[in-house]
Structure 1
Amino acid sequence: MSQVVLGVGASHSTLMNTHWDEVADLPDAIAFREGLEEAAALVAEARPDAVVIIGSNHFRGFFLDLMPAVTIGVAECVGAGESGTPGGPLPVDTALARSLVDSLLENEFDAAFSLRLQVDHGITHSLQYLVPGLDVPIVPVVLNMFAPPLPTLRRCHRLGEQIGRAVAGDGAGKRVVVIASGGLSHRLPWPKWFETFSDDDRFLVEAWLNGRTSWKEYEVRRRQIIRAAEADINPDFDRRFLDLLATGGLAEIVGYDNDRVEAEAGNGGQEIRSWVTMAAAVGPAEGRTLAYAPIPQWLTGMGVAALVPGGNR
C-alpha cells in the first residue's frame, strides 16, 4: 500500500517573487526563506513518488461562473505562471489522482474532478520553493477559500482524513508527501461577491465572474489594488495556530466558523483550510514550526511547518 511520509505547510505570497529586493536584508524575510529551504530538504529526504498539494485558487482557474468546493486535477494541469510562478504543464500522477477521486466518492465525499485544470500560485508557489524542478508528479487539490459559501473547517478536516485513507488504500506502494499552501493571517482588499461598495469592489467581482478566458486582462489593476492594501496580520493567531498544529491540537480551530476565522485572521486567513486538510491527511505526527515571520511588505503572516507521521496525537 502507499503511505504518507511527510506533511508540509507553507504560506504563499507572489510578492516574494516580485518584490524580494524590498525585504532582502530583513531578518524575518531571510528566516522565512531559510524555513522554505529546510522544508524543501525534508521533502527531498522523504524521497516522494508523488506530492499531493492542497491549495487555493485566486480566480485564475476557477471563477464565479462555477466554483466547486473541492476539485482534484486528474490529468492535464497547467500553471497560470503569474508573478514569476511556474507556468505551463505540470506533471500529474493520474493513477493516484483517480484513486483518490474514486475513494472519496465511495466514502460519500463528493469532489469535482478536472481533466484540464489551471492552477495559480495557490498551488504553484509551494511547488516552486518546496519541489524545485517539478520532477515529482503531483495531485493538485484545490479548495474554495475565497468565494462564500466556503466549506467548513470541519468539512476540510474530514476531507483530509479521507485523503489519508485513500493514500493508505492505494495498492501502488508509493511514498506520498502532502503539502498545504496558503495563509497564515492576512487580509486582502477583496469584497464578498454579494457585497460591493466601491469601484474596485465591482471591478474585482467582474474579473472573478468574466475572467475565464481573459483573466490576464484584469491583472494590472488587480495587482494595483492589492499593492495599495495595508497589512493586517495577527501574529498571535498565527503562532497559536502553528503551536496547535505541531501538538495535534487543531480540534479547537476546526470548531471555528468562517466569521471567527475572518475576525481573527482576516479573509486571507481562510486559507488555513489547506493546513487543516493536510494535517488530517498525515494523521498522528511529530510536528514542528520551521519558520514564522509577520512580513507586512507581503501583507501576510508567513509560516512553514513540517509533520512527520508517528506519535499518538
Structure 2
Amino acid sequence: MAAIAGFAGMSHSPFATLLPPPAEGGPGAKFLADADRARRAVEALAPDAIVVIGPDHFHGNFYDVMPPFVLGVEHAAGFGDFGSTEGPLPVAGPLAWSVHNGLTDAGFDVSLSYSLTVDHGIVQTYEMLTGGTALPLVPLVVNTAAPPLPSLRRCVALGRALGAALRSAEFPGRVLVAASGGLSHWLPSNDPREVAGERRESLIHGRADVHAFAAAREPRVRAMGGDPGARVNAEWDNWFLERLSAGDAESVAALGHEKLEDLAGSGGHEIRCWLIGQAAAGAPLAWTGYEPVPEWITGMGIGTTFPVG
C-alpha cells in the first residue's frame, strides 16, 4: 500500500520566472529562499511520486467544456507558459488509476484525460518542490478560473477521498501531495457572462488554436507585473495559513464563494487546491513561509505538514 509522505502547498506566479531574480531583500527574495528550503525538505523525504493539484489558466481547459476536476492518467505535457517546462512529463499511471477508482467509489465523477496539457499552475510548483520534472506525478486540475467552481466544502470532501484513495493504492512507495495556487490576488474576470468580444471568444473557443490565444494573452499578463501597488491582502493570507496550521479547514470552507472573493480576490479561488491537498494528507501545517509580493500580483505563501530546516 502507498503511504502519504506529507503535503506541501505553494503559491505560483508567472512573475516568479518572468522577472529578473530579485536582489537580496528584494520583492520575492524571501519566497524564493523559502521555496528552496521546502525543496531540500522534499528531497530529504525522498517521495516516490507526487500528486500535484493546481489550476489551469486557459491553456488546457476552455468553456467549450469546463469540468470542475480533471485527472491525468496517462500522458501529460507542460504547455511551457511563463518559463515553466514545455513538453512531456512523467505520469505515475497506475497510481493515477488508483486515485480515479478511489474517488469514483467515494462518489466523485472526476473527468479523465489520457493526454493532459498542464500549464504553470501545475508545473511551476512541481518544479520548485522537486527540483525538476523527473519525479512521477499524478496531475489533478481544479477549475478555479470562473464559474461554475466546485464549492469549498466539496473540495475538502474530495481531498479526504483523495487521501483514502492514496492510502489504499497498490503503489509500493511514498507519495507527496502538493497544491499550487493562491494566495490573495485580484485578476480580470474570466466569466463569459461578464466579458465580450475577442476575449470572450478565446475563453470559449481557444482550444481551436491554443497557442494563438496564449500569444495574445501573455502581453496582457506581463503588463500586470512589477507594480508595487498591486492589491494583495496579506492579513487574509496569514489568516488562511494560520487556519491550516490549526487544522481548521472548516473555517475557510465556511467563507463560501462570494466572501472568499471579497477577501482574497478572484485569484484567491485557487486556495481550493490547498484545501484538497491538506485534507488528503489529514494533518495540519507544521511550517509556513509568507511574503506579500504585489510586484508578482500575489501573496506568495508556502505551507508543509513536515518540518522545513
| TM-score, with length taken from structure 1 | 0.93
Letter in structure 1 aligned against 2:306: V
What is residue 300 of structure 2 aligned with on the other side?
302
User: Alpha-carbon deviation of 1:286?
Assistant: 5.0
Contact 1:69–1:143 under 8 Å retained in 2:
yes
8 Å Cα contact 1:8/1:179 also seen in 2: yes
Per the alignment, in what secondary structure is the counterpart of residue 176 of structure 1?
A: strand
Paired with 2:294 and 2:283, the residues of 1 have a C-alpha distance of 33
Mean CA deviation greater in 57-66 or 280-289: 280-289
Residue 40 of structure 2 corresponds to 41
Does structure 2 retain, via aligned residues, the 8 Å contact 1:292–1:302? yes
Match of 1:208 in 2: 203
- Counterpart of 1:279 in structure 2 is 278
Partner SS state of residue 208, structure 2: coil
Give 1:104's aligned amino acid: L
1:126-174: per-residue Cα shift (whole Å, max 9, x none)? 1121112322100000000012010001000001000100011113232
Distance (whole Å) between structure 2 residues aligned to residue 173 and residue 15 of structure 1:
37
Give the corresponding residue for 1:219. 214
C-alpha distance in 2 between matches for 1:88 and 1:221: 21
Distance 1:191 1:308 in 2: 36
Any idea what SS the aligned residue of 1:193 has? coil
Q: Are residue 32 (structure 1) and residue 45 (structure 2) matched?
A: no
SS in 2 for 1:275: helix
In 2, Cα distance between equivalents of 1:145 and 1:216: 21
Aligned residues with identical type, % of pairs: 37
Structure 1 position 213, deviation (Å)? 3.4
Q: Match for residue 78 of structure 1? A: 77
TM value normalised by structure 2: 0.94
- C-alpha distance after superposition, 1:42-70 (max 9, x if no partner): 11111111100000000000111111111
Quote the Cα distance in structure 1 between the aligned partners of 2:28 and 2:106.
42
Q: Would you say 1:3 and 2:19 are equivalent positions?
A: no
The aligned residue for residue 92 of structure 1 is 91
1:192-251 deviations in whole A, cap 9, x for unaligned? 21112xxxx533322221211312212343223334446221000000001111121221
User: What is the CA deviation profile of residues 14-72 of structure 1, one whole-angstrom value per residue up to 9, with x for unaligned ones?
Assistant: 11111134x43444411100111111111111111110000000000011111111110
SS of the aligned residue for 2:51 comes to strand
Q: CA RMSD in A?
A: 1.6
Q: Give me the whole-angstrom Cα distance separating, in 1, the residues matched to 2:124 and 2:155.
A: 21
1:157-168 equivalent positions in 2, closer than 5 A: 157-168=156-167
What CA distance in whole angstroms lies between the structure 1 residues aligned with 2:150 and 2:41? 30
Q: Say which is worse superposed, 252-261 or 85-94, in terms of deviation.
A: 252-261
Instruction: Say whether the 8 Å CA contact 1:232–1:299 is kept in structure 2.
Output: yes
Q: Is the 8 A contact 1:55 1:143 kept in 2?
A: yes
- Following TM superposition, the consecutive aligned residue runs of length 4 or more in structure 1 with deviations greater than 6 angstroms are none
Shift of 1:100: 0.6
Q: Which structure 1 segments of 5+ residues have no match?
A: none
- Cα drift, residue 277 of structure 1: 0.5
Q: Is the 8 A contact 1:7 1:306 kept in 2?
A: yes
Residue number in structure 2 paired with 1:16: 16
Aligned residue pairs, count:
303
Q: CA deviation at 1:254?
A: 1.0
